[in-house]
Structure 1
Amino acid sequence: MIDARDFLRLRFHMELLGKSAGMLADDVTRQSIYEGRAGRDVPQTVDGIPEDSPLRPRLWGNPCWFSYRLNYLALHFNNPVYGMIQSRLGLLRPEFVVLWSLYLGGPSVQTDVVRASGFPKNTLSRAANKVHRLGLIERKDDAEDQRRITLHLTEKGRQAVESVKDDMLAQERQMLDCLSPAERLILSEILTKLVSASGGWSQTFGDEPAGEDEPAAQQTEKTGAEPAVHS
């Protein structure tokens, strides 16, 4: 855990960064690495990560420390969970995401499923078509606006979700087991703040097209290997 002195040092550096709009790229890199080390000049010692671990430079010498940590942790959920879902239900990640969105939020228009999932529109459109053909969802005219089509989870779709839900939850609880109850609440608030801000993030670099987030299970199926952790 970061102590009060380290926190004050980190806040000072963050304020300095905010005031220095004209910082050079090297300055931003140094600041990013400093943040990744939680304000420490020397990387901390962590149980389970020995001095010669290849994780150390990725954790504490990495200017993209935030995206690396998120991707690394996400793979520890996505690979086993969506591998299990593909094995049991024959569904790839975007296809199950459609079911999960309707299970949590009830009948929805497809654009709302896209916004809530973060997947590209065309990826979710293909996924919705497949689960519709399988009888896991149905499409109905919106009662208030006949021009809109809402997606509804069928009983078959609900049973599919509930057949894997407990294993999904068990994997997530295992991942959070190292955190205290208070740390989990803090983590939840921080991640919610980031999700809330994500609507304003750029999705492309200039005129370059946005890429599609190919499901981990689909990458494994094509290549026979787990997808790499980026950053």
Structure 2
Amino acid sequence: MRLAFEDADIAEPDAGAGLAPLLSAKLWNNPCWLSFRVNFAAAAFNRHVYPGIERRHALKRQEVMVIYSLRLRDGLSASEIVQSSAFPKNTISRAIQVLIGRKLIRRATDASDRRSFVLRLTPAGERIVDEAIPPMVEREHEMLSALSPAEQHMLHALLTKMIVASPTWRESCEPEEKPA
């Protein structure tokens, strides 16, 4: 099976080029080329970054994701964190409870809606994220080093465009049932 397009800049390497046969097949003979590439890159990033944070701070990936989110934009609701993550609501809820218990985040009344709560980083939580960011940035730079600055910009723009369109994506791959 061939992809629906041909990439003139990236030709399939010879069998002896150093890629494992299945990796080569997933790159050049895969009808789901985008999901493979995005998942492979994300896994290569995650495998490199999160084990060190877990070792140093005894935090799971979803807990790191919560404090990282709050470092980017403090004062978020749990729902906002769920919406921007790949984790289900119950996983984020458990992570939040762990982080509150460890005093890495705190729950505060939302100033705009006194009936709601927002999450805020504590100084201890800020220190962990600030320590974690440099190795994350280093890994990302390493991964992007195969691309020119113009290609990096293009990748950024294209992935951003896809993510901005994500609210229009179907929730399920299952065919919609027709009313009887």
Tell me whether the two structures share a fold, i.e. TM-score over 0.5: yes
Residue 176 of structure 1 and its aligned partner are, at CA, apart by 0.5
The verdict on how the C-alpha distance between 1:182 and 1:158 changes in structure 2, with shifts beyond 3 A counting, is same
Residue 39 of structure 1 and its aligned partner are, at CA, apart by 7.3
Matched, 1:34 2:4: yes
Matched, 1:139 2:125: no
State TM-score, norm by structure 2: 0.87
1:173 match: 141
Q: How far apart in 2 are the matches of 1:151 and 1:171?
A: 28
State TM-score, norm by structure 1: 0.69
Matched, 1:53 2:20: yes
Q: How far apart in 2 are the matches of 1:155 and 1:193?
A: 34
Q: How far apart in 1 are the matches of 2:31 and 2:174?
A: 22
Q: How far apart in 1 are the matches of 2:59 and 2:15?
A: 35
Identity %: 37
Residue 181 of structure 1 and its aligned partner are, at CA, apart by 0.6
Q: How far apart in 1 are the matches of 2:105 and 2:15?
A: 44
Q: Secondary structure at the match of 2:171?
A: coil
Residue ranges of structure 1 left out of the alignment (5+ in a row): 1-28, 208-231
The verdict on how the C-alpha distance between 1:51 and 1:91 changes in structure 2, with shifts beyond 3 A counting, is closer
Residue ranges of structure 2 left out of the alignment (5+ in a row): 176-180
Q: Secondary structure at the match of 1:150?
A: strand
Residue 51 of structure 1 and its aligned partner are, at CA, apart by 7.7
**RMSD (Å), alpha carbons:** 2.4
Matched, 1:44 2:7: no
The 5-angstrom pairing of residues 125-136 of structure 1 reads: 125-136=93-104
Q: How far apart in 2 are the matches of 1:191 and 1:174?
A: 18
The verdict on how the C-alpha distance between 1:152 and 1:58 changes in structure 2, with shifts beyond 3 A counting, is same
The verdict on how the C-alpha distance between 1:157 and 1:58 changes in structure 2, with shifts beyond 3 A counting, is same
